Structure 1
């Protein structure tokens, strides 16, 4: 059922009655949850992915994104009900669908320059199946202006913008909470090519999101919202890190000061730490930097420099801690706790553990690693030896805030290590207890 020209109430009714077919391109960590949620609210959903294995699993009712709570049940339920299926044929899916959602990975280099080939490839396939009245929505986060750059590709099938609608509705989700985020943690942001398309897209997302929709004046404005969210986080984490370094220099406990300052409602100092990782926060600032022509985003650039420097600072703290304990870094056994960039999520993109391991080895340390979500092969991939115990360890370096690390039994660890040094890069341990047990305990913002 074509939706352009219908009001949002009519769209919601047709959606719930199963008369709307949506093709979701990309069945990864964000795409599969979105497809399952669409199906669970009544839509006929076709998931599209280049991986035959992923497609086969979905069609069997199996979920390949294991770390997403509730997704396995949602996939099984809606495949069984006939509302969710998958294919590798993107052209066929476009021919069947009324709405096409692009949520494929956008690849980047170290400076945030996007390699948009996956997005362009999907647009080419959609163009071959596009019909009058269809709507194409991008959800992948991209530099402002990118969605509209797809118009010439989408028009290659013979239709012109206006015959079909175009919109951007950025995903505002995190791995591990995607279903919660999609269905009502935050309002959905939407920008569209015209008012009729906007009205229909609002109806789509109001159907699945309890928090509703915030409509933007343009597609580009909607793209900027998601990018700015990431830039805000990066800049404010950098501020916290810089103030934490200042506190170290002046003998203060940054967390004590931050906690007190944050009782004032206009102060929101973030948590300092070992570094910023993931696919989002370290990369979105580069979209702003790289698109700047007349302006010079000095603050954004400086924030990136500060946050990228924090893994090196953790190595500096490791040297300091060992020296206080009477040992050099060279030849010491260092156990890095955490390989992933964030607690509870097995993802390594720009994880601070990677440069920390590399630099520790350059100093001549014997580097070991442990992560409850990872394997021996993961550790070896980043140049560390796998180690699940604390025997003969000279320094523990906590890089990831896994729940397991917050509950370390320090009294037992104290009996096993060779040298009592802890570098807490995520502020997860009880400093007082560590010090009572004789550990040299250092963390970002307190030395």
Structure 2
């Protein structure tokens, strides 16, 4: 028997028991790097979850007990166990899943248009499917990161319009996804407190009840869904602004003739100081996107948010400049400099190590490594890109394996992503290079390479 929680007058303990015993079927829409771990945690706690994805290969893999998400510790075994005992299944039929479920969890990507405006099409597409099977008493939880007021102004009215139900017959709540690739299971289970906020008080109550069964940490109910949506966006804005500060400080390295990273580390021993690390740029599907959930969604201006994004977007160009600077110093007497218009990058061969936005994660969205490739190619360098997890398709660079880096023909290298596989590179085997380390991960003291580390300067 299907039980529904929104508007239920049963005792709270009874409702929790309904959820734990699978009487409240759950559908999770989106089985990607965050969605599949979330579906698995729901399934291990309630034993009755249908995962929905548009990718047939993902659905087939899950139903076979396989895990299509790589490098997520504990997830393959958990998926296999859950599918084996019938607690988790997958489908591409979102309408059927919606008809069967009483709790609907949306965790699909929110991207940006070419004009950097929030694109809610994936969220609204899922909302339309949910609406086709929505019943009175259902709860819809959005975990996709969205601009504040999306649940109240977009999702809830759309569900009401498409389902024929009145507002107040079903619940809509927002729960910020607070997970990172490589530790998603632990994060979903409660590394951090969970935040929930509903379009109305009843939705908040039900969301708090559900997530209280999922996580070992606290569940923090906030005033409404818009507040919960803002929590997630604000977390990203804080990190973007803090990293921008670190990158601004890193640019002072040469003029001050100090190791800025050392100064940051010492400054951070004061309890009210928490400066992040500088680097080659900020990538991924979170931090570079969330500023535009404010800048290109709300009417009010946010100059600090805008400036932080501009600073971080400029770091790949800063890295390219340092490569050119090093090459110019290394070949100061080279007559070719004059014929190349004074830009040492022209006709130079440069390897960019890392196209994934973060070490150990096969994701290239907004990757600084790709931007470094583009900045170098714009200045007529010959660019080689090496990454153990992703290829260079669509990147202005020749895709090479780490072992195939041209040892004798290379003029410079950039470490854009500190994959552990790069630790095995035989740096002494290369002719003297200019090496720009964007992640403070290389020790080339035993070589003749000219090294620049972002935040430490020339070494």
Smaller-chain TM-score bracket: over 0.9
Match runs of 1:100-119 below 5 Å:
100-110=104-114, 112-119=116-123
Give distance in 2, aligned partners of 1:9 and 1:243.
53
Match runs of 1:234-383 below 5 Å:
234-293=240-299, 295-326=300-331, 328-374=344-390, 378-383=391-396
Give distance in 1, aligned partners of 2:442 and 2:12.
50
**1:441 and 2:454 are equivalent in the alignment:** no
Whether the 8 Å CA contact 1:37–1:208 is kept in 2: the answer is yes
Give distance in 2, aligned partners of 1:154 and 1:296.
31
Deviations 1:328-387 (A, max 9, x none): 32222211111111000011101111121122122222211211223xxx2253122215
Listed as ranges, the gaps of 5+ residues in structure 1 are: none
Whether the 8 Å CA contact 1:189–1:214 is kept in 2: the answer is yes
Listed as ranges, the gaps of 5+ residues in structure 2 are: 335-343
Give distance in 2, aligned partners of 1:195 and 1:9.
19
Match runs of 1:32-431 below 5 Å:
32-110=36-114, 112-148=116-152, 149-155=154-160, 156-293=162-299, 295-326=300-331, 328-374=344-390, 378-385=391-398, 386-387=400-401, 388=403, 389=405, 391-392=407-408, 393-405=410-422, 407-408=423-424, 412-414=426-428, 416-430=429-443
Whether the 8 Å CA contact 2:118–2:292 is kept in 1: the answer is no
Give distance in 2, aligned partners of 1:70 and 1:11.
29
Give distance in 2, aligned partners of 1:13 and 1:139.
24
Number of residue equivalences: 436
Q: Structure 1 residues 129-138 or 326-335, which shifts more?
A: 326-335
Deviations 1:100-125 (A, max 9, x none): 11111222125541222221121112
TM-score (norm 1): 0.94
Deviations 1:46-65 (A, max 9, x none): 11111222222211111111
Q: Structure 1 residues 231-240 or 154-163, which shifts more?
A: 154-163
Whether the 8 Å CA contact 1:8–1:204 is kept in 2: the answer is no
Whether the 8 Å CA contact 2:118–2:297 is kept in 1: the answer is no
Give distance in 1, aligned partners of 2:350 and 2:197.
50
Whether the 8 Å CA contact 1:7–1:199 is kept in 2: the answer is no
- Aligned to 2:283, the other structure's residue is in SS state coil
How far the C-alpha of 1:89 sits from its partner, in A, is 1.6
Deviations 1:240-285 (A, max 9, x none): 0001102222211111111111110111111000001011000101
How far the C-alpha of 1:239 sits from its partner, in A, is 0.4
- Aligned to 2:316, the other structure's residue is in SS state helix
Match of 1:18 in 2: 22
How far the C-alpha of 1:91 sits from its partner, in A, is 1.6
Deviations 1:14-42 (A, max 9, x none): 22222221011111111111111111112
How far the C-alpha of 1:13 sits from its partner, in A, is 2.2
Whether the 8 Å CA contact 2:118–2:296 is kept in 1: the answer is no
Match of 1:2 in 2: 4
Whether the 8 Å CA contact 2:355–2:370 is kept in 1: the answer is yes
Quick one: structure 1 residues 110 and 424, their matched pair in 2 at CA, closer, same or farther if it must change by over 3 Å? farther
